[in-house]
Amino acid sequence: MASGRTPCSGCQERDRELLRLRRRLAVLNEEHQSLQRENRRLVRRLAKVERQNHELRQRLDEARREQHRQTHPFRRKKTKSGKPKKPGRRKGHKPALRPVPTPDQIDRVINVPMQECPTCHVPLCDPAVVVQYQTDLPPIVPIVTQFNIETGYCPCCRQHWQGRHPEQTSDALGAAGNTLGPVVLTMAAEMKHRLGVSYRKICDFLATYADLHVAPATFVRAEQRLADLARPTYDLLLEALRQSHVVHADETGWRIGRLNAWLWVFSSKEATIYVIRTGAGARGHQVPEDILGPDFDGYLVVDGLKSYDVLEVAKGRCNGHLLRRCKELHDVVSAKEQPYLESLSGLL
C-alpha cells in the first residue's frame, strides 16, 4: 500500500535541476556531433585544397622549367587529356604536297622495260613511259696527292728551306709526312663543332663511307692548329665588339667531356663572340670584364644575373626576360593588379 507522502520542495527543485541538466547535456551532445561532422567535412575539403595547391604548384614549376630547357622543342607536348600529341599534321589540315622538281643535270639514263604482265605473261595494253628521278651520292673515294717538295740550304743564312704548295696543310716530313687534306679537316671540324659529333664517331663515319682510317688524336691536333690560324680573326672580331654601341650578353651551362663549364655569348650588330670558361670564375664578372675590356663605353643588355651588377658600364635589361617574368606573375597576382601587369607587358 503506497503512502500518500509527497516529496519536499528541496527534492522537487533538485529533480527539476537534474532534468534541465539532462536536456542541456542532450543539446550539447547534438552540437558536439554536429561540430564533429563539420570538422570532418572541413578536413576533407582542406585535403582536397592541398592536393589542388600541390598540383598547381607542380604545373607552375614545370611551366617555368619548360622555358629554360634546351631540349624541350624535341619532346612531345601533352594535350589536355594528358597524352602526348601524335606526330603528323593536325586533323582538318591539308597535307603539304612536295613538288617534284626537274633536275638541272641528268648524269645517267636507265631504261626500265615492262612489255608483258609478270603474272599472266601476256602483252600489256596502252604502253607508256613515265619518268622518275633519283638523286644519290657517288662512292666517296679518297684522293691521295703526292707533293714532290724541293728543299735545300741557303749558303748565306745557313738555314734549311723547303717549298710549300697552297693545297698543303702541313710542313711535316718523314714519319709524319702522311697528312690529311683540307676537305677532310674542314668536314671533321664542321661535324664536331656545328653538328656535335664526337671525333671517334667521325673516324667511324670516314672508315665506313670513305674507307679512310684516321685516329681521333689526329683531328684533335688539327683542331689546335686551326685555332692558332683563326686567332687573328678572333682578335679582329673582339676589337669590333668592344667598339660597338650596344652589346647583348648571356651565359649557359656547358660541358667539356666530364668537366662543368660555362658558355658565354656577346653579340652586337658587328660581331658575335663565344667564350667557354672553366673554374671558379667561369660565371663571374671577370669574363665580361675580360671580353669587353676596360674602355668599353657602350650599353650592355643583360638578364638578372648578379655577376653583371658589379660592372661599371651602362646596362639595360633584356625585354625577353622581363616579358617572361610578367607571364609568370600573370598566374600569381590578384585580379586587381592584372591591369598594371598587362600595361607593363604592352609597354615592353
Instruction: Kindly calculate the radius of gyration of the chain based on its CA atoms and give it in whole angstroms.
Output: 40
Put simply, whether the predicted model's pTM sits higher than 0.85 gets the answer no
In the numeric block, which cell numbers belong to residue 81?
587529356
Strands (E) across the chain are located at 151-153, 160-162, 246-256, 259-267, 272-277, 299-302, 314-317
Q: Give the whole-angstrom CA distance, residue 292 versus residue 286.
A: 10
Q: Residue 172 CB: number of other CB atoms within 10 A?
A: 11
The whole-number mean pLDDT for each consecutive block of 10 residues of the chain, a chain of 348 residues, reads 63 84 88 90 90 87 70 50 64 67 88 91 91 88 91 92 90 85 92 91 94 92 90 93 92 85 92 90 86 89 83 84 83 83 87
Task: Give the residue ranges of DSSP H helices in the chain.
Answer: 9-68, 182-193, 199-209, 216-242, 286-292, 319-329, 338-347
Which pLDDT score is estimated for 100?
62
Name the DSSP class of 325. H
In the numeric block, which cell numbers belong to residue 289?
670584364
C-alpha dist (Å) from residue 21 to 30, 36, 78, 122: 14, 22, 64, 113
Q: Give the whole-angstrom CA distance, residue 167 versus residue 164.
A: 8
C-alpha dist (Å) from residue 5 to 1, 2, 8: 12, 8, 9
